[in-house]
């Protein structure tokens, strides 16, 4: 009571019958866009937390891990990544990690919500430098539209940092076979790599969307690597799928990966990821592995598998 009396709680449903709550010590900033409410709060548990529509989007405590795993596996597996396209990622952390790679010359980041990108570029201290980096082009628009219209241009890396393909959600189209085949694959340069965050991937949750995203990518790309990691503030293990454009691209060994990290990042090692870590993350457990192997459902423009109550990374 003496040192911390305010009893403001943020409550987040994790399912219909299941929720968690964490104390909020201060509401630092609040705003509202056409699309959503945007808040930055401070918490004893997670440090500063970015909320979109009252949902945890990213926390000071663990966003580094989430973003390292989204960005560095594809950039490290590419021989010489120069041009990178980010779908979503308005928070700026994805761009921040991309820009650590010395070879990168151009980053196009397309996030629909200008209020979010303005807010984060001013208030998320960890990411403000990234927003000011001259290599970054920030566009507030529909990511699909911008990727399609990019004139005569192709990218070495395309990163999808979007909300899960939720029931009725705006992002569903960006997870379909048609989008992967007609837009993503065409916009990847030779040797290009696509990665997408892929929703919850625990042994209880991997069939919500992770397995179908994986199956959809396998139906389009010659090689797809799935890996997972527990992200505490998402209250689950999280999945990623990395797809190679060409059949001759291969996964690096632990030693090769460590060596690439040393070369590409100017001597600044990553916090969480190294060669040994990545080998562990892509060695999936039996339940998840069998779920991926047996998944028949592919997301198409006509069909959907909906996720309810979890996978809230928007």
Q: Does 211 bind a second copy (CB under 8 A)?
A: no
> Which alpha helices (DSSP H) does the chain contain, by range?
63-77, 93-98, 114-123, 128-132, 143-149, 177-179, 185-187, 210-218, 254-264, 275-281, 286-294
- What would the two tokens of residue 211 be? 């397995």
| Whether 76 contacts 68, CB under 8 Å | no
Which listed residue (111, 161, 236, 258) is catalytic?
161
Q: Which of 19, 122, 186, 268 binds a second copy (CB under 8 A)?
A: 19
Alpha-carbon distance values, 164 to 35, 72, 99, 168 (Å): 16, 21, 25, 11
Q: Does 80 bind a second copy (CB under 8 A)?
A: no
Which of these ranges, 70-78, 91-99, 147-155, 202-210, lies near a second copy under the rule CB under 8 A? 202-210
Which of these ranges, 91-99, 188-196, 210-218, 283-291, lies near a second copy under the rule CB under 8 A? 283-291
**For residues 18 and 35, what is the distance between their CA atoms, to the nearest angstrom?**
26
Q: Which of 12, 60, 118, 178 binds a second copy (CB under 8 A)?
A: 12
Nearer to a second copy, 57 or 160 (CB): 57
139 phi and psi, to 5 degrees? -125, 130
Which of these ranges, 37-45, 72-80, 81-89, 175-183, lies near a second copy under the rule CB under 8 A? 37-45
Per the annotation, the verdict on 161 as an active-site residue is yes
| Residues contacting residue 21 through CB under 8 Å, at least 6 positions apart | 9, 10, 11, 12
Q: Does 10 bind a second copy (CB under 8 A)?
A: yes
For residue 173, how far is the Cα from the chain centroid?
A: 16
What single string gives the DSSP state of each residue in 201-237?
-STTTTTTTHHHHHHHHHTTSSEEEEEEEEEGGGTEE
**3-state class (DSSP) for residue 168:** coil
| Whether 206 contacts 289, CB under 8 Å | no
Q: Does 34 bind a second copy (CB under 8 A)?
A: no
Q: Which of 186, 222, 232, 300 binds a second copy (CB under 8 A)?
A: 232
Q: Does 35 bind a second copy (CB under 8 A)?
A: no
Q: Which of 58, 229, 241, 249 binds a second copy (CB under 8 A)?
A: 229
Q: Which of 122, 186, 268, 289 binds a second copy (CB under 8 A)?
A: 289
- What would the two tokens of residue 103 be? 């070879």
Q: Which of 58, 196, 211, 277 binds a second copy (CB under 8 A)?
A: 277
Nearer to a second copy, 33 or 114 (CB): 33
- What would the two tokens of residue 236 be? 């689950």
Nearer to a second copy, 271 or 302 (CB): 271
Minimal distance, residue 224 CB to a second copy, in Å:
18
Chain positions 38 to 57 lying near a second copy, rule: CB under 8 A, are: 39, 43-45, 51, 53-55
- What would the two tokens of residue 296 be? 């028949």
**For residues 89 and 120, what is the distance between their CA atoms, to the nearest angstrom?**
11
Q: Which of 129, 148, 167, 204 binds a second copy (CB under 8 A)?
A: 204
Which of these ranges, 6-14, 179-187, 190-198, 295-303, lies near a second copy under the rule CB under 8 A? 6-14
Side by side, the strands of the sheet bearing 37-43 are: 26-32, 37-43, 47-52, 55-59
**For residues 83 and 194, what is the distance between their CA atoms, to the nearest angstrom?**
12
Q: Does 222 bind a second copy (CB under 8 A)?
A: no
| Strand pairing class (47-52; 37-43) | antiparallel
Q: Which residues in this chain contact a second copy in the complex, by CB under 8 A?
A: 1, 5-12, 14-24, 26-27, 30, 36-37, 39, 43-45, 51, 53-55, 61-62, 65, 202-204, 229-230, 232, 235-237, 270-274, 276-277, 279-281, 283-287, 289
Active site residues: 161
């Amino acid at each position: 009571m003496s040192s911390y009396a305010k009893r403001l709680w943020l409550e987040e449903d994790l399912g219909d019958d299941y929720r968690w709550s964490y104390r909020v010590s201060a509401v630092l900033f609040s705003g509202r866009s056409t699309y959503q409410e945007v808040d930055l709060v401070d918490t004893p548990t997670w440090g500063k937390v970015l909320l979109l529509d009252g949902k945890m989007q990213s926390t000071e405590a663990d966003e580094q891990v989430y973003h390292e795993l989204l960005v560095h596996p594809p950039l490290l597996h590419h021989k010489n990544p120069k041009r990178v396209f980010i779908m979503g990622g308005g928070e700026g952390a994805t761009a921040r990690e991309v820009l650590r790679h010395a070879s990168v010359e151009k980053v196009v980041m397309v996030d629909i919500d200008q209020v979010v990108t303005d807010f984060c570029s001013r208030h998320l201290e960890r990411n403000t430098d990234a927003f000011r980096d001259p290599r970054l082009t920030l566009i507030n628009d529909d990511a699909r539209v911008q990727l399609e219209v990019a004139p005569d241009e192709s990218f070495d890396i395309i990163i999808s940092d979007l909300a899960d393909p939720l029931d009725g959600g705006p992002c569903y189209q960006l997870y379909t076979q048609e989008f992967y085949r007609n837009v993503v694959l065409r916009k990847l340069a030779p040797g290009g790599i696509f990665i997408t965050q892929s929703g919850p991937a625990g042994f209880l949750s991997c069939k919500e969307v992770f397995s179908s995203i994986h199956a959809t990518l396998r139906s389009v790309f010659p090689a797809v690597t799935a890996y997972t990691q527990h992200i505490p503030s998402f209250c689950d293990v999280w999945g990623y799928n990395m797809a190679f454009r060409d059949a001759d691209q291969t996964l690096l060994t632990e030693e090769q990966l460590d060596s690439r990290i040393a070369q590409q990042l100017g001597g600044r090692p990553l916090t969480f990821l190294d060669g040994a870590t990545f080998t562990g993350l892509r060695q999936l457990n039996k339940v998840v592995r069998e779920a991926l192997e047996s998944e028949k459902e592919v997301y198409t423009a006509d069909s959907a598998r909906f996720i309810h109550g979890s996978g809230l990374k928007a």
